[in-house]
Amino acid sequence: MPRNPNLPLSVGELAALRLAASGYTSKQIAHRLDTTEQGIHLRLTAAANKLGARSRTHAVVIALRRRIIRFDELEPPDQQRTAV
């Protein structure tokens, strides 16, 4: 997928990115968003491409720096509730 930093993130991409920034694994994110791990990888890859990022971590950093996501929106993973 070509990089296009001018496209807005979809609701699903933003939700996956917020949970990734919170420290959730792809498996935990998939469980939280009621989708598959493959679907999460697609959402995070699309978000990274739209942000011009080289990786999932880089996408999180860019989103935080651009204030697309904010620290006060992040939630640490609850080990008992999200363990899958």
Question: pLDDT for 15-56, tens place per residue?
Answer: 999 999 999 999 999 999 999 999 999 999 999 999 999 999
Q: pTM for the full model?
A: 0.83
Of residues 24 and 77, the one with the higher pLDDT is 24
Of residues 28 and 82, the one with the higher pLDDT is 28
Q: Which residue is listed with tokens 């929106």?
A: 73
* Rounded-to-integer distance, Cα 40 and Cα 75, Å: 18
Of residues 53 and 79, the one with the higher pLDDT is 53
Q: Which domains does the chain have, with CATH numbers?
A: 11-71 (1.10.10.10)
